[in-house]
Amino acid sequence: MSKLRTIVLDRIRTDGWFERLGESIGSFQTLCEVLGERFFAFSLIEQARVSSLMIDRFNPDNSLVEFCFSGSGEPDDEEPERLSVVEFRRRVVERLLSDEPPVTTTTPVAADDAEGLQRHIGARLLLLAPIYGFGVRELLLEGRASSLRVDLDGEEAVIDLAEFRRILHNWVREELERGTQRAAAGTAIDLNQVAEAEKAAEENRWEKVIQLLGSWPMPLAVYWRTPEGQMLPEAARQRIAEGLGLLGTACGKLGDATQGEEVMRLAVQYAQEGVAGARIFARLGRILMDGNRHGEAIGSLRRASMLAPEESVEKHINLLDLARCFQARDSKMATLACLLAAKKAGAKPADTAEVDLWLTAALGQPLIAWQQLTSGAPAKA
C-alpha cells in the first residue's frame, strides 16, 4: 500500500492575486465593469493584453475590445484582434479551457520544487481557484492519486485533482453562458420603466422593481464616465437617479444591503444637487439604518435634510430619521437638536413620541425644566 504524502502549498498560494494586480492597473475598475470582473480575471490568466476599449454607452456588451495574447510564443497571437465584449469573453474562455495541460499523476513531485508543484496541479487552476473563493492549502499524494485540500467559506474539503479541475472548468462554462444570456437580453435604458417601478414600490412589489431596473447599474456606471454622460440633460439625469434609487431600495428590502448601497451611491452621482438628491440620500441613509450602521447613515441623512425643501414632509422625515441615528449612538444633545428641527419642519407628535420619551428618560428633570422655560410656562421647583 502506497504511503500518503502531504505537501503544504504555501509557496505557491495565489490568494488575492487578482486584487493585488488590480492595484497596479489604472483602468482596472473600468475593465471589470465592461468585461465583467471574472472575465477580466480569465483574460489576465490567458495573458490577453487589452490595448483599447470602444464603449457602447447604452449596451456595454456591444463594446469593442482590441487585444492580443502575449507570452504564448505563437506569432498569430501577437496580432491585435478586435471583438465585441461577448465574443471576447467566448474567445478567452475557449483558450482557458483548452490550454490547460492534462492532469499528471506519474511525475514525481518534490515539496521544495515550486515550479514542479505548479506544473503538477496546473498554473491556470491555481489562479482560477481564488476567483471562485477557494483556498488551495495542501497537495495529497498517494500512489498515482493526487488530491487537494481546499477551503471555501471556512469549510475544508479534500477533492481529487482531476475532479477539482472539472468543477472549476464547469463554473467557467456556466459563467460564459450567463454572460451570453445577459447580452442577449439587452441592457437598454428605458426611462419609462421608472414610472412602472414607482408603482411597484408603492405596492411593496420589490421583486418587480428589480425585474424592471436590475440591468441598469453596469451600463450606467460606464456611461457616467463618458463625455455624453457628463453632459446628460438635467431632467434625464434626475430620472435615472430616481430609478437607481428605487432599485437600491429594492435590493435593501430583499436582503442585499451591500448591492443596494452600491446602486444608491451610483444614484447619488447622477442626482448630485438636483431635485432627486434629497430622496436618494434619504434612501441611502435608510439602507444604512436598516443594517444598524447608524453612524454611517448620519452623513447621508444630513445631506438629505439640507436638500429637502423647507417645512416639507420629506424634510421632517429626514430630520426625524437623523434624530433616531443619534439616539442609537446615545448622542443626547444631537438627538434633541434634530428632534426640535423635525418638529419645526412639521413632524406630528405621534411620529416624535418615541424619541421624546427616550430623551425625557435620558435627560430627566433638566430637560423638563428647559422645555417649560422655553415654552413660557413657570418652572416647577
Q: Write the pLDDT tens digit of every residue in 170-201.
A: 999 988 887 776 555 455 578 888 999 999 99
Rounded CA separation 274/276 (Å): 5
pLDDT beyond 70 at 284? yes
Among 32-46, 214-228, 251-265, the range scoring the smallest mean pLDDT is: 214-228
Residues 6+ apart with CB under 8 A from 144: 105, 106
pLDDT beyond 50 at 70? yes
The rounded percent of the chain whose pLDDT value lies above 70 is 89
**What cell was used for 56?**
457602447
Q: Is residue 100 part of a domain?
A: yes
Rounded CA separation 249/242 (Å): 11
Look at residue 4 in the predicted model and tell me its pLDDT. 85
Look at residue 381 in the predicted model and tell me its pLDDT. 42
φ/ψ region of 143 (left if φ > 0, alpha if ψ in -120 to 50, else beta) reads left
Query: Quick one: 197 and 329 in the same domain?
Result: yes
Rounded CA separation 360/304 (Å): 27
Q: Is residue 370 part of a domain?
A: yes
pLDDT beyond 90 at 66? yes
Q: What's the whole-number mean pLDDT along residues 21-44?
A: 88
Look at residue 223 in the predicted model and tell me its pLDDT. 81
* 342-357 core/surface letters (b: 16 or more CB in 10 A; e: else): bbebebeeeebeebbe
Among 26-35, 93-102, 335-344, the range scoring the smallest mean pLDDT is: 93-102
Q: What's the whole-number mean pLDDT along residues 309-330?
A: 90
pLDDT band at 74 (very low <50, low <70, confident <90, very high): low
Rounded CA separation 271/33 (Å): 21
Query: Quick one: 257 and 169 in the same domain?
Result: no
pLDDT band at 301 (very low <50, low <70, confident <90, very high): very high
Domain count for the chain, please give it: 2
Mean pLDDT estimate for the chain = 85
Cell 434609487 belongs to which residue?
245
Query: Quick one: 123 and 260 in the same domain?
Result: no
Query: Quick one: 57 and 10 in the same domain?
Result: yes
280 burial via Cβ count (<10 Å: 0-12, 13-18, 19+) = buried
Look at residue 101 in the predicted model and tell me its pLDDT. 64
Query: Quick one: 126 and 273 in the same domain?
Result: no
Rounded CA separation 157/163 (Å): 12
Half-sphere exposure of 108 (CA within 13 A, CB side): 2
Q: Is residue 89 part of a domain?
A: yes
Query: Quick one: 170 and 205 in the same domain?
Result: no
- Per DSSP, the residues of 250-289 read HHHHTT-HHHHHHHHHHHHHHHTTSTTHHHHHHHHHHHHH
Query: Quick one: 38 and 63 in the same domain?
Result: yes
pLDDT band at 72 (very low <50, low <70, confident <90, very high): low
Full domain range(s) for residue 53 = 5-184
Q: What is the CATH number of the domain that holds 231?
A: 1.25.40.10
pLDDT band at 159 (very low <50, low <70, confident <90, very high): very high
Instruction: Give 381 or 362, the one with higher predicted confidence.
Output: 362
Residues 6+ apart with CB under 8 A from 236: 191
Strand order in the sheet with 48-54: 48-54, 64-69, 81-84
**What cell was used for 200?**
411597484
Query: Quick one: 146 and 243 in the same domain?
Result: no
179 burial via Cβ count (<10 Å: 0-12, 13-18, 19+) = buried
Q: Is residue 380 part of a domain?
A: no
The last residue of one of the domains, among 128, 153, 184, is: 184
**What cell was used for 363?**
435627560
Strand partners, 8: 138
User: 359-369, pLDDT tens digit by residue?
Assistant: 888 888 887 77
Q: Is residue 180 part of a domain?
A: yes
Instruction: Choose the most confident range, by mean pLDDT, from 123-127, 274-278, 371-375.
Output: 123-127
Q: What's the whole-number mean pLDDT along residues 67-78?
A: 69
Q: Is residue 168 part of a domain?
A: yes
Tell how strand 64-69 and strand 48-54 pair up. Answer: antiparallel
Tell how strand 134-142 and strand 5-8 pair up. Answer: antiparallel
SS3 159: strand
Element (H, E) at 234: helix 234-253
Rounded CA separation 351/316 (Å): 10
Q: Is residue 136 part of a domain?
A: yes
Rounded CA separation 84/90 (Å): 10
Of 57, 59, 22, whose CA–CA distance to 43 is shortest? 22
Query: Quick one: 216 and 111 in the same domain?
Result: no
- In angstroms, how far is the first alpha carbon of the chain from the final one? 94
Q: What's the whole-number mean pLDDT along residues 344-354?
A: 89
Taking the model in full, what pTM does it have? 0.51
**How many Cβ atoms are within 10 Å of 159's Cβ, its own excluded?**
17
The last residue of one of the domains, among 141, 164, 184, is: 184
Of 252, 235, 271, whose CA–CA distance to 201 is shortest? 252
pLDDT band at 379 (very low <50, low <70, confident <90, very high): very low
The last residue of one of the domains, among 131, 153, 184, is: 184
Query: Quick one: 197 and 179 in the same domain?
Result: no
Query: Quick one: 164 and 256 in the same domain?
Result: no
Q: Is residue 381 part of a domain?
A: no
106 in Cβ contact with 132 (< 8 Å): no
Instruction: Choose the most confident range, by mean pLDDT, from 68-82, 103-117, 233-247.
Output: 233-247
Query: Quick one: 26 and 163 in the same domain?
Result: yes
